[in-house]
Structure 1
Amino acid sequence: MISAHARDSFDRIFRKAAQSRLPLDASDPCEIVPIADASAGTTKDTQVVVLTISSIVFRMLLILHFDENDAARGYYLKEADERSFQEVFLEICNLCCGAMNQELLNAFPDLGMSTPYVLNARCLPHLHELKPALLSSYAITLNGDVRLAATVCVCAHAPLDFVADTSAVEETSGELELF
Structure 2
Amino acid sequence: MITGQAKESFERIFRKAAQARLPLQSSDTCEIVPIAEAGTGATRDTQVVVLTISSIVFRLLLILHFDENDSARNYFLKDAADQSFQEAFLEICNLCCGAMNQELLHYFPDLGMSTPYVLSARCLSYLQELKPDFLSSYSITIDGSVQLAATVCVCADAPIDFMADMSAIEETSGELELF
User: How does the TM-score come out when normalised to structure 1?
Assistant: 0.97
Distance 1:12 1:105 in 2: 15
Distance 1:173-1:68 versus aligned 2 partners, 3 A rule = same
2:107 is the counterpart of 1:107: yes
1:1-179 paired onto structure 2 within 5 Å: 1-78=1-78, 81-179=81-179
Distance 1:79-1:56 versus aligned 2 partners, 3 A rule = closer
Distance 2:79 2:106 in 1: 39
Counterpart of 1:71 in structure 2: which amino acid? S
The percent identity for this pair of structures is 77
Distance 2:73 2:60 in 1: 28
- Per-residue deviation at 1:81? 2.1
Superimposed CA distance per residue, residues 30-49 of structure 1 (whole angstroms, 9 cap, x where no aligned partner): 00000022332111110000
- Per-residue deviation at 1:178? 4.3
Contact 2:136 2:153 in 1 (8 A): yes
Matched residue SS, 2:43: coil
Counterpart of 1:12 in structure 2: which amino acid? R
User: How does the TM-score come out when normalised to structure 2?
Assistant: 0.97
Structure 2 unpaired stretches of 5+: none
Counterpart of 1:51 in structure 2: which amino acid? L
Distance 1:80-1:61 versus aligned 2 partners, 3 A rule = closer
Report how many aligned residue pairs link the two structures: 179
Distance 1:79 1:34 in 2: 30
